[in-house]
Amino acid sequence: MTGSSMALDDTLDTNKDDDILPDRDVAKEFYAKYEPKEILGRGISSTVRRCIEKETGVEYAAKIIDLSADPENKNSTLEEVRILRLVAGHPFIIHLHDVFESETFIFLVFELCKNGELFDHLTSVVALSEKKTRYIMRQLFEALDHVHSHNVVHRDLKPENILLDDLMNVKLTDFGFAHVLKKGEKLMELCGTPGYLAPEVLKANMFEDATGYGQPVDLWACGVIMFTLLVGCPPFWHRKQMVMLRSIMEGKYCFSSPEWNDVSEDSKNLIRQLLVVNPDDRCSVKDALNHAFFHPKLFDQDIEPIKKDYKMASRKLSKIIQMTEVRTCQLLKPVMYDDKNSALLSLYAVLKKKKKSCEGNFFLDKTPKGGFSLNFFFFKPPPGGGGIHPSRFKVYLEYLNAYNELTLPN
């Protein structure tokens, strides 16, 4: 037995008591590239582990899916992978870094979001301020706008499927129920989580003459999420599920509890426009983003503490962003600030500039040295013609001990 085989055997033996065992062939590919660490979570047929990419030292989350119990899991998982790749490149959608597959196991390697689920964060704080709710809901709507632009409906939006990265930014995840809609297609399948189901999903399962449903179901779920963030409890919850489902069908909820006394009318109005029983009358993603709740002045007031002293970063990053024909990685010397949110300032500057002058996609990734990199993919003709090819470069931002101290603005 070779040394590498022994190392693999040792790893598998160590994990055999607390995890499903991946088959040896695909495990060799995975373990050759990644070092598995502790278990982060478990599902019915899957386990999620923190892992480290050996070449770069970057941490990821590996979801190991056991296909032996239900062979159909493979088809559904590969469809989820296809959709994740279709909607890839958005800063508020989880980044799928790597995939390994065999007949009995599939490894999905995602970016690691150390702040976990929005659900767990909400559980710890009970409810969020309007500022923080605006911060999170804006990112969620922007992610959803990107998803819908690719004719995809998510169908399972809920706080458990929204992760928070190290900067407390949203990462929309779990596209297991997502579906790519054909032109004019309506869905009839009952799927999702009961408290977040739109009325038309329930009707599709209850009435033979139901017309089905489409992307507006995601907007209904956003209304439930926003309601829950602001007061810490969902709008339709009841210990008897049939009573809850009846309330959903009728759109019965209220703002009469004391928790709503200090919530603005703009917040309530947006929720009212999202929790509309008739999907034809429900607001769209773009309607939501243009709502008074997200008025630019209000949003700028919320992030004013973050924008403080970001001009130097903006100038340096703007120059690099304008280099659309870069062919090699460009290293930006560390930008140091007294402000602990320096990285977030820089990210804000980049995103703001990108909307005005850049074409292409980008995603956020961490560096081995404790900073992060913004990965840009530009689609511009290279010098001398020859067709359109992607150009890629990284902007590295490294900073002292602020990395683990970043929080949402107060």
Annotated binding site for ATP: 63
59 with 52: CB under 8 angstroms?
yes
∠ Cα 126 137 355 (to 5°)? 150
Residue 95, amino acid: H
Given 66, 156, 218, 302, the catalytic residue: 156
Residue 209 is among the residues annotated as catalytic for this protein: no
Buried b (16+ CB within 10 A) or exposed e, 254-279: ebeeeeeeebeebbbebbebbbbbeb
∠ Cα 314 59 351 (to 5°)? 20
User: Cα(390)–Cα(327) distance, rounded to whole angstroms?
Assistant: 9
User: Cα(95)–Cα(283) distance, rounded to whole angstroms?
Assistant: 28
* Residue closest to 230 by CA, chosen among 197, 253, 263: 263
Residues marked active site are found at 156
